[in-house]
Amino acid sequence: MKKFLKIFSFIICLLTLSYWTIPSQSNTISTLEKIKKQGYLLWGSDAEGGAPYVFPDPNDPSSLIGFEVDIANAIARELGVKARQSQNAWDSLIPALKRGDFDIAMNGIEITPQRQTEILFSYPYYIYTEQLVIRKDETEIKDINDLKGKKVGTLSGAVAQDILTKLGGVYVKIYSGQVEPYEDLALGRLDAVLLDLPIAAYYAKPNPKLKYTGNPVGEGFYGIAIRKGDDELKKKIDEILVKLLKNGELKKIYEKWDMWNETQEKLFKAIKESRNYVTLEETKKAPIYTFFPNLLKGAGITILISVSSMALAIVLGIILTIIRLYSRPPLSTAATAYIEIYRGTPLLIQLYILYYGLPNIGVSLSPLMAAFIGLGMNYAAYEAELYRAGISAVPKGQIEAALSLGMTQSLTIRRIIMPQAVRIALPGVTNDFIALFKDSSLVSVIAMVELTKTYNILAATTLKFFELGLIVAFLYFVMSYPLSLLARRLEEKLKRSKR
């Protein structure tokens, strides 16, 4: 019982800590006032999306670089504050912005009529086009009109996806990252890739196995996404963008990242020179040891999420088991339903509902809180079944003997049943804990940057999938193997105590 009280105390502390990270829904001041009061502009983007938008500096992976990092810094400077990036999956930037996870979102977000019904957009800060890329030896595909019957890769939710869908007869393969389509194209898994020109210029143009084909199509605008109702912030950002346009600072940023082209003349008039452009080849040359601090930080977050979630799963699993086995309907029915529903639905969907669904009914959880509750409640269902199996394995004669000696049911459960049931269930619990370590990577979809997400971001930037993958696999092994050793030691200890 003392152990359970300690676990409860730990969970209460975690809940209290997480409470302070929950975005306030009752804030009455405007977002612009809040930014100036807190002293920083929190902008959402996906560093896994990679260069040249926002990606880790190969010389210092703990800091981010990219043309949108420069723009965010310029806007924050004009606001009199600092800029802070908030990591979030690209295809959920808009939902995260709407739920208040950050002040603005800027990550190559195309201005489309559909998105304008959801959010506000600033003045355009870049004119993009879609560039078709094929393999060097490809001769049949001249432009997008030759794509019928071909396998073409693009990003989920991008304008390029709409263009390919409207063409008809194209086998569109959707990716969540902008590196993987070009890798698959070079390996012959795709016939072509259609993506924004800045992406193609950074990832496809330097690749000797790939080439551009046809003229760029689908001209459109990138805009800074702002929540509806934040008109004051939109007006201020528009004023800052106009200022950056007039003084040539935006153009200087685009020249620095080799993104300036004639199309941008529609937005900018002045021409100046700049330096410090980091190419893909330079990011590939970054020493592997420079990524260790980021990977270890991600491993620390993985441990925090896994340990706290497992504590919740164990406590909740025991409660569910006792209610299911020793209570009457409707409590036992509710416990059974909980177990079956959580075991019968994907963990990913449960996380989405917790993080993006609950704000629709006024409940907003921080990423850490959503990860802790999501993983803990899901694994509690599996723990409950392990404990139920352990309890069922205890001979009924022992229970009847305890009751005949005058022990109450609760005392029998605590002194006779549970010690034996826990010993029986222990190997399964250990396996679940190891599995939870690996499943914790799923929480990256709700803006948690743990070990796997850190790997994705760094690998997408440097293309060192193999080297970084081996390091991350080793870190996961280092974290999970001691659990196996601990479980064996506990089992041996329990066996000796039984004798």
Q: What is the pLDDT of residues 128-156, one digit of tens each?
A: 888 899 999 988 898 888 998 899 988 87
Instruction: Name the stretches of the chain with pLDDT < 70.
Output: 1-28, 49, 157, 262, 265, 267-285, 447, 460-461, 463, 491, 494-499
Instruction: Say how far apart CA 100 and CA 23 lie, in whole Å.
Output: 7
Q: Is 45 a member of any domain?
A: yes
End-to-end Cα, the chain, rounded Å: 23
- Which amino acid is it at 327? S
Q: What is the pLDDT of residue 103?
A: 93
**152 is a domain residue:** yes
Beta-strand ranges (E) seen in 246-373 are none
H-run or E-run covering 57: strand 55-57
Which residues contact residue 121 at a Cβ distance below 8 angstroms, ignoring those fewer than 6 apart?
111, 115, 223, 224, 225, 226
Domain count, the chain: 3
- Can you give the pLDDT at residue 20? 44
Residue 415 is given by DSSP the state: I
Statement to judge: residues 321 and 421 lie in one domain: yes
Pull the structure tokens for residue 437: 């370590």
- Could you tell me the residue range of the domain that residue 159 belongs to? 125-218
Q: What are phi and psi of 212, to 5 degrees?
A: -75, 150
Do residues 237 and 214 both lie within one domain? no
Residues 238, 249: one domain?
Answer: yes
Query: Which residue has 């709700």 as its token pair?
Result: 446
Judged on CB neighbours under 10 Å (0-12, 13-18, 19+), 104 is: buried
Give the pLDDT of residue 250: 85
pTM over 0.95: no
Regarding whether 129 and 76 lie in a shared domain, the answer is: no
Do both 368 and 313 map to the same domain?
yes
Whether 14 is in a domain gets the answer: no
**What is the CB neighbour count within 10 angstroms for residue 264?**
16
Q: What CATH code is carried by the domain that includes residue 49?
A: 3.40.190.10
CB atoms within 10 A of CB 346: 10
Cis peptide before 52 (omega within 30 of 0): yes
Q: What one-letter code names the amino acid at 148?
A: K
- What is the Cα 185 distance to its own chain's centre? 25
pLDDT of the residue at 438: 82
Residue 468 φ/ψ region, left for φ over 0, alpha for ψ in the -120 to 50 degree band, beta for the rest? alpha
